Amino acid sequence: MRETEYQIFHGWVQNIEKHTTSEGECRLVVRLDEARMQGFVMERPSSPLRLGDEVGVAVSGAQPGRVLFIVDRSTGEGSQFLSGEGGRWVTEADLLVIAGVAGFFAIALQWMALPALVVFALMYGVARRQVQKTRRQRAAALIAYLLDKDYFRWRAGLDRGLKAP
């Protein structure tokens, strides 16, 4: 996970409205420093956003229009919208691994293959979920760091501009 996978925007809420096509999503318009507008799509935030609130928004480089993380600098509250890896219990790769292990168990264990396969499948599922959870936590920590880094950089530039004669 590199820092370049995410883009960070700092600005002020210009407009927020329900998304017309998707239930449970909002369309957010943010006015950036350069007085240009940037539109985003996000799930409904856990804390209310008001017009004029100063926000930091993180998006993925792969989906630059979808919000992954938003921090309301005016209130100090934030919301994250990181999802799992597709949210499916079993992917094609998982089926391939389980089928390979099932074949090996059938040859090596014969009549004990079924109980061993059930135990393996349960342990595999638990381990896979734990890896996904760890990846989401690492991504959330990186994004929070990038948001804070960008905000402090922006704030330092603003303070330097105010101190200049």
CATH number of the structural domain spanning residue 17: 2.40.50.140
Q: Is residue 101 part of a domain?
A: no
Q: Is residue 142 part of a domain?
A: yes
pTM for this prediction: 0.72
Give pLDDT tens digits along the chain (165 positions): 566 788 889 899 998 888 777 777 888 999 987 788 999 988 888 778 888 888 999 998 888 888 888 988 888 888 888 775 455 677 888 889 999 999 999 999 888 999 999 999 999 999 998 998 998 899 889 998 998 888 888 888 877 777 655
Q: Is residue 106 part of a domain?
A: no
Amino acid at 63: Q
Structural domain boundaries enclosing 48? 3-84+129-163
- Count of structural domains within the chain: 1
